[in-house]
Amino acid sequence: MPGFVVKAERDQLVKDRVAAFGEKVTAITQEADLVCIHVKKEAVHELLKTLRDELGFAFLTTCCGMHFPGEAQEFGMVYHLHNMRAGHRIRIKCRTTANDLEYPTATDLWPTANWMEREAWDFFGIKFKGHPNLKRILNMEDFPAFPMRKDYPLEDPTRQDKDDRFFGR
């Protein structure tokens, strides 16, 4: 029925290597066709580096910020890595609290992370330690908010007909 392939053998290689991280990896889940590694923030850089250097995930497809209002671990970063040789992708998630919004940068591993992290800063207010040029990228410099956060209203706040009830949540 599903129109995708799960690469179980490749996934197992990743799981075996990641087991060495012990408690720093909080969970490993299967989300549709991709394996997702949930990692604590202090180990995210180490994990990315290990995956890049030892398991061939040499290509950073994308990384983006996330916001889950009302949860204890309110913010998050999601990385998609790609091992082009083996045709294998994985997802890495790293959640954090609203008081502790500083991630280690991935620009030392992949120069392409530069603008992706600037986007995460611009839209979610997530900081990156060691980033060479962390400033807003798509919004104007003096924009007063982080617009992709869920509490930033998209619609005119005085409208009565566009609240979350109408969107199923």
Partnered with residue 95 across adjacent β-strands are 76
Residue selected from 28, 38, 73, 78 as contacting other proteins according to rule CB under 8 A: 78
Asked if 112 touches other proteins (CB under 8 A), the answer is yes
CB 20 → other proteins: shortest distance, Å? 26
C-alpha span between 119 and 133 (Å, rounded): 12
Residue selected from 62, 69, 130, 132 as contacting other proteins according to rule CB under 8 A: 62
Residue selected from 17, 24, 80, 127 as contacting other proteins according to rule CB under 8 A: 80
CB 9 → other proteins: shortest distance, Å? 17
Q: Is 144 exposed, middle or buried (0-12, 13-18, 19+ CB in 10 A)?
A: exposed
Residue selected from 17, 24, 91, 127 as contacting other proteins according to rule CB under 8 A: 91
Q: CA 134, 140, 146, 152: dihedral to nearest 10 degrees?
A: -170
- For other proteins, the binding residues (CB under 8 A) are 1-4, 31-34, 36, 58-62, 64, 66-67, 78, 80, 84, 87, 89, 91, 110-112, 114-116, 123, 137-140, 147-148, 152, 154-155, 162, 166-169
